[in-house]
Amino acid sequence: MNDILETARNLRIERGENFHDSLVESIYSEAAKIAKDAVSTPDSNIAFRLDKTVDRLVTSRWLGFPIMFLLLAVVFWITIVGANYPSEFLSTLLVDLGHPWLQGIFLSLGAPSWLTGVLIDGAYLAAAWVVSVMLPPMMVFFPLFTLLEDFGYLPRVAFNLDSIFRKAGAHGKQALTMSMGFGCNAAGVVATRIIDSPRERLIAIITNNFSLCNGRWPTQILIATIFIGAAAPPYLAGLVSAAAVVFIALLGVSLSLFVSWGLSKTVLKGEVSTFSLELPPYRPPRILQTLYTSLIDRTLFVLWRAVVFAVPAGAVIWLISNITISNLSLAEWFINTVDPVAVIFGLNGVIFLAYVIAIPANEIVIPTILMLTVLTIKAAGAGAGAGVLFEMDDAQTAALLKQGGWTLLTGMNLMIFSLLHNPCSTTIYTIYKETGSVKWTVVSTFLPIAMGLIVTFVLTTIWHLS
Amino acid sequence: MSSGACEVCPANPNATLTKLGVDYEKYDFVIGLAGNPNTGKSTVFNSLTGLRQHTGNWPGKTVARAEGAFEYSGKKYKIVDLPGTYSLLSTSHDEEIARDFILFGNPDVTVIVADATRIERNLNLVLQVLEITDRAVLCVNLMDEAKRNGISVDIRALSRDLGIPVVPASARRGEGIADLLRMIHRVAIGEYVCKPRRIKSLSPDIALAVDELTKKINKEYPKLRNARWVALRLLEGDQRMIDAIKNGEFADTAGLHKRESQPLKNRPLNVNSPGVDV
């Protein structure tokens, strides 16, 4: 055994440093020879030239980024507009009809009111809300995104972003893991395995949360629609809302770069490693197959996860809204206590509490906020009582939130805070598993919260000055 | 290449294919699925196992091993989808997973999926795999795309030069999967004996060094199937290989064909968690 290692070492010293190069050279020359004998390529090639032309456009210095933004905006716009109708249908079915029906069943069985409360008004409604709000945008967004992915656009995005990421001291492949994060941050964190250097991988993990994930898109889209879109003329509302969401997404990308740069200049100093990125050929997407797989693999998968988290959260919401200490519910105690602090950041106690309840899943932030708002303003006629989640159309939601003291500023701050807060518990756990370090898990968790508070504080201060 | 109708014909050997998904306990053969990034490995994997690993048109999608199973002609196969790599010579994480599996996982057949439109570059990996293992099948995938680009590939010439079966396929359309299965089966049961091409053009002094070391390794571990590759790695000073010899990992795995799960020695950052795909 030692003899083998000894011999290897001696031979290595004898043959010098060039062993690797010489081996690689041999492999390449043999591969070239075999390929020459077996492959014939035509001199002029129309399909190949077409690919080249498209590539020159989408990765061009001047057009690359505008095309990217435009594609993103179109995808969001179709999502926002297209998701409206199925959303309405689902909420009618699950909430307007399903909820009273289930309540009736429980009533006829003679179930105690607290049981009906926890199970039907809490757990069922939370799940129904998540389904009717999350499913339609996902049904539109995922197939569109998957089509872009199958077509071969993602590597071009990485190609465009590569030089910027390198200037920020990060690995060019971080552009790819960041794109994955737009779907799910936990998946994005796992995807950082494609980055070889531990330093750059850690940067990619910490900054992945700055990619808006599935769970946060609906929040962004809803708030943009009812606060920012509503501030624009009606015929522009859809476009303006889409632009606001794109802006938040791009803010996330910029912050991702900024934090990467900060980390690589301070605690994670080191060389930028080079890599080669292959631009795969454009492939005409197989549309039916894409629709099927994106529906089964992504939409239903994400939806199921959301429902699984929404059910216990719904029960918790109902409980904290109905367990009272000296005439105030637990939820109200919390909201009243943190409200003075939250106002400094242009937010409110309801939003803070919603983000505590929604640590398991960002998907349930909006339903929680609405329910808690009803609770605090004791809105007459809206909803169905304390701790009961409900579904309303956008106009009603806007009216309710404004009644709760929300302004355009609150809406903007919520969009920012939705981008900049702790990752969901699944992602936090994934970060811990991937880094094996408590320290970096804590950094990844609290850094975004600190940044979110700073940005909302600055924005609120400027807003009040002007 | 077989057309769509043949794929569903009962006379097709594919008809004896049973996709087992992840539902397997015992199996007769282990298949490793290697290849350059973005050549359609996961698509091939899915059509063999009936699983639906997410596939996407970008390199680096599969970052860990994914496993599945199928039954063909009465034999049960476990198949492992490895991360796509351009070579097996560097130290990056994904390459290490692929390399370790082919070397220490002792697959009965290694299927290399190659991109028909980029044969030359794909062959670099094929040649490296053939240094490690005797039993391999090359699946030249994306033939439809090659056709679109006017590229023609001489499958028989490739097979002759490489000394292994070569199967043309368009996995996205399900074409060629039947032939691939038949070849995997024939190699696995020993009906087709590969005579894999070994890198010949090494400079004389290096070739001599490799031979010398290979002999020593063969003497120490007579059951080891890929002594030459180990020699190459040791001459490169691959620390992982040196460690494997020091800690006796070779004695554990070399030549012993275990039928139970064969744990790879874990590296940090748990590369081994099954089926993680992004």
For chain B, the DSSP string reads ---HHHHH-TTSGGGGEEEEET--S--SEEEEEEESTTSSHHHHHHHHH-------SSTT---S-EEEEEEETTEEEEEEEPPP-S-SSS--HHHHHHHHHHHHS--SEEEEEEEGGGHHHHHHHHHHHHHH-S-EEEEEE-HHHHHHTT-EE-HHHHHHHHTS-EEE-BGGGTBTHHHHHHHHHHHHTTSS-----------HHHHHHHHHHHHHHHHH-TT-S-HHHHHHHHHHT-HHHHHHHHTTHHHHHTT---SS--PPPPPTTTTT-TT---
B236/A23 Cβ within 8 A = yes
Whether B58 has its CB under 8 Å from any CB of chain A: the answer is yes
B199/A23 Cβ within 8 A = yes
Whether A14 has its CB under 8 Å from any CB of chain B: the answer is yes
Residue pair B176/B168 in contact by the 8 Å Cβ criterion: yes
Q: What is the pLDDT of residue A447?
A: 95
Here the contacts of A326-334 (C-beta below 8 Å, separation 24 or greater) are A329/A375, A329/A386, A331/A372, A331/A375, A332/A375, A332/A376
Residue B205 CA to residue A356 CA, distance in Å, equals: 68
Residue pair A437/A445 in contact by the 8 Å Cβ criterion: no
Q: What is the pLDDT of residue A254?
A: 93
Q: Which residues of B touch A31 (CB under 8 A)?
A: 120-121, 123-124, 126-127
The sign one gets for the Cα dihedral B249, B250, B252, B257 is positive
B205/A47 Cβ within 8 A = no
DSSP β-bridge partners for residue B111: B33, B137
Report the gap between the CA of A45 and the closest CA in chain B (Å): 6
On the question of pLDDT at B156 being above 90, the answer is yes
The SS3 call for residue A100 is helix
Q: What is the pLDDT of residue B272?
A: 33
Report the gap between the CA of A82 and the closest CA in chain B (Å): 25
> Looking at chain B, which residue has its C-alpha nearest residue A294?
B54
Mean per-residue pLDDT, B157-172: 94
B120/A27 Cβ within 8 A = no
Residue A24 CA to residue A37 CA, distance in Å, equals: 20
Q: Which residues of A touch B205 (CB under 8 A)?
A: 15
Sequence-separated (6 or more) residues with CB below 8 Å from residue A187: A180, A181, B278
Q: What pLDDT, in 10s, does the model give residues A254-303?
A: 999 999 999 998 888 877 766 666 677 777 777 777 777 777 766 776 67
In whole angstroms, how far apart are CA B267 and each of A351, B97, B101, B273? Answer: 42, 9, 13, 11
The DSSP output letter for A12 is H
A26/B199 Cβ within 8 A = yes
Q: What is the pLDDT of residue B2?
A: 42
Question: In the block, which residue shows the tokens 């030069």?
Answer: B161
On the question of pLDDT at B263 being above 50, the answer is no
On the question of pLDDT at B173 being above 90, the answer is no
Residue A236 CA to residue A296 CA, distance in Å, equals: 34
Q: What pLDDT, in 10s, does the model give residues A105-156?
A: 998 998 888 888 888 888 888 788 777 766 777 778 778 877 877 787 877 8
The SS3 call for residue A324 is strand
**How high is the mean pLDDT in each 10-residue block of chain A (466 residues)?**
76 72 84 88 68 82 85 79 79 84 90 86 81 75 77 80 85 81 79 80 94 83 85 84 89 93 87 68 74 72 74 85 85 90 92 88 81 68 49 70 87 95 88 90 95 95 90
In our burial notation (b when 16+ CB lie closer than 10 A, e otherwise), range B192-204 reads bebebbebeebee
B91/A196 Cβ within 8 A = yes
The closest CB to that of B213, out of A7, A48, A276, belongs to A7
What confidence category does residue B143 fall into, taking pLDDT thresholds of 50, 70 and 90? very high
The closest CB to that of B94, out of A1, A23, A193, belongs to A193
Q: What is the pLDDT of residue A162?
A: 81
Q: Which residues of B touch A208 (CB under 8 A)?
A: none
In whole angstroms, how far apart are CA A255 and each of A67, A251, A434? Answer: 21, 6, 22
Best residue in B99, B117, B120, B144 for a mutation probing chain A (most A CBs within 10 Å): B120
Residue pair B30/B108 in contact by the 8 Å Cβ criterion: yes
ipTM for this prediction = 0.78
A11/B209 Cβ within 8 A = yes
> Looking at chain A, which residue has its C-alpha nearest residue B161?
A34
Backbone angles phi, psi at B72, to 5 degrees: -145, 125
Best residue in B53, B61, B123, B239 for a mutation probing chain A (most A CBs within 10 Å): B123
**Terminal C-alpha separation, chain B:** 32
Best residue in A41, A48, A273 for a mutation probing chain B (most B CBs within 10 Å): A41
Q: Which residues of A touch B162 (CB under 8 A)?
A: 34
Q: What pLDDT, in 10s, does the model give residues B36-90?
A: 887 888 889 888 887 666 555 455 555 555 788 888 888 889 888 888 888 887 6
Q: What pLDDT, in 10s, does the model give residues B188-233?
A: 999 999 998 888 777 777 788 888 888 888 888 877 777 888 888 8
What confidence category does residue B25 fall into, taking pLDDT thresholds of 50, 70 and 90? low
Whether A114 has its CB under 8 Å from any CB of chain B: the answer is no
